[in-house]
Amino acid sequence: MKAKLIQEYIHYTLEHNNTPQSVYLFAKSVGISEQEFYNHFSGLETLESEIYQTWFEEAMHKCTTSSPWNDYSAREKVLAVFYTFIESLKPNRSFVKFLKERDFKSLPKWPAYLNGLHHSFMDHVKPILNEGIASTEIAERKYIDTKYADGLWLNFLFVLKFWIDDTSPAFEKTDAAIEKSVNLAVDLMGKSALDAALDFGKFLFQNK
């Protein structure tokens, strides 16, 4: 029933070019009572937040059940998550654009309807980054490595907004944006010349 209500909410919004003004009006349009609606969601805001979260969980399920997933590096897993999620949004592009134009202003802030997505994203991405740290693909940096997931989340939002505004054929520019931004992010999280410089500086300080 929750999935049906989500689809009805999307349909209602696109048909009216506006979100339902109350639970009563939405429930009436679906042909159910308010009480039945509240058996599944505490309000329209909760339903709206769960839409993106549901899409992301479905994308993650698709990623993690594919045969190569366990053999992927952290970089490859993050790329797969980004590509698969954007692909999953395409059937609902009109609704995604509507929400973005309604109240998705500028980064690093994000609208309330993405809070559920944020929660799921962090839950899934943090273990991937920990795997990368364990394999040394990603550098373990005191105090800084705890912020890696936050950085990827902002990258994720950047890609989402980029895709919504992308007018290139087959959204090929979005594919390029994913590849370049994720590779840059993972490169920055990996061992770099900066780490070597810091290590050398630490050595000089300890041995002066």
Q: Is residue 52 domain-shared with residue 112, that is, in the same domain?
A: yes
pLDDT at 193 over 60: no
Q: What is the pLDDT of residue 145?
A: 86
| Residue 153 binned pLDDT confidence (cut-offs 50, 70, 90) | very high
Buried b (16+ CB within 10 A) or exposed e, 81-93: bbbbbbebbeebe
Q: Is residue 87 domain-shared with residue 162, that is, in the same domain?
A: yes
Q: Is residue 58 domain-shared with residue 101, that is, in the same domain?
A: yes
Tell me if residue 65 falls in helix, strand or coil: coil
Average pLDDT, the chain: 92
Residue 121: Cβ within 10 Å count? 22
Residue span of the structural domain in which 34 resides: 1-41
Q: Choose among 181, 47, 163, 49: nearest CA to 114.
A: 49
What is the total count of domains within the chain?
2
| Residue 167 binned pLDDT confidence (cut-offs 50, 70, 90) | very high
Q: Is residue 104 domain-shared with residue 4, that is, in the same domain?
A: no
User: Average pLDDT of 124-128?
Assistant: 97
Q: What is the pLDDT of residue 110?
A: 95
Q: What is the pLDDT of residue 100?
A: 94
| CATH, residue 187 | 1.10.357.10
Tens of pLDDT, residues 57-112: 999 999 999 989 999 999 999 999 999 999 999 999 999 999 999 989 888 899 99
User: Average pLDDT of 8-13?
Assistant: 96
What is the identity of the amino acid at 34? Answer: E
User: Does residue 81 contact residue 60 with C-beta atoms inside 8 Å?
Assistant: yes
Q: Is residue 113 domain-shared with residue 179, that is, in the same domain?
A: yes
Q: Is residue 65 domain-shared with residue 24, that is, in the same domain?
A: no
Q: Is 17 left (phi over 0), alpha (psi -120 to 50) or beta?
A: left
Q: Which pTM does this prediction carry?
A: 0.89
Quick check: is 203 in a domain? no
Q: Is residue 11 domain-shared with residue 75, that is, in the same domain?
A: no
Residue ranges with strand state E in the chain: none
List phi, psi (to 5°) of 108.
-85, 5
CB contact set of 47 (below 8 Å; sequence gap of 6+):
5, 6, 9, 40, 41
